Amino acid sequence: MSTPTALIPAQAAARLDDYTVIDVRTPGEYASGHLPGAHNIPLDHLHTALPMVCASGNRSTTACTELAAADIPATTLTGGTTAWAGEGHTLHRPDNATAVWPMERQVRLAAGTLVVLGLAAGTRWRSARWLAAAIGGGLIFSAATNTCGIAAALAKLPHNQPRTTDLHTTLRALQD
């Protein structure tokens, strides 16, 4: 089993041409800006491909760990595309891409909406307040475990899914 490594944005920028960069964020997040030359294979589709870049570095670390378990050397970008852009490096955006909110923003909207709905419905049906409590408990669990059930559910929505043709095109480009 190989050990995944990590690069900071300045190191990655200096050697970007030496790497095949795989962005493991959702297609919408990828379309909102990605490293030059990066290919998009969402983390939940990693098992279908050989794949590492995501918004914060968490998903790419997971992808690297999976690859390392299969003895495939992989490197993650510390801080993800957020750190990359924060250091003044360019993010590419496809001309025909529609901007989708980053996953973290989608989670905040979903969680906030469910909490407000639970509290509002709780004024009429007392037990509805449990919805707000459940979402709060889920967010605490999410922070403690660095996982997110809401994000996993939102990633299944159509606007966060890669079109099959895009995934196949990416995989062919990686094989060339």
Per-residue pLDDT tens digits for 146-167: 788 888 888 888 877 766 556 6
Domain 5-97+163-175 has CATH 3.30.1370.160: no
Burial class (CB in 10 A: 0-12, 13-18, 19+), 136: middle
pTM score over 0.85: no
Q: What are phi and psi of 7, to 5 degrees?
A: -125, 145
Q: What are phi and psi of 55, to 5 degrees?
A: -65, -45
In this predicted structure, the answer to whether residue 85 has a pLDDT above a threshold of 60 is yes
CB–CB of 51/70 below 8 Å?
A: no
> Please, where in the chain does CATH 3.40.250.10 lie?
5-97+163-175
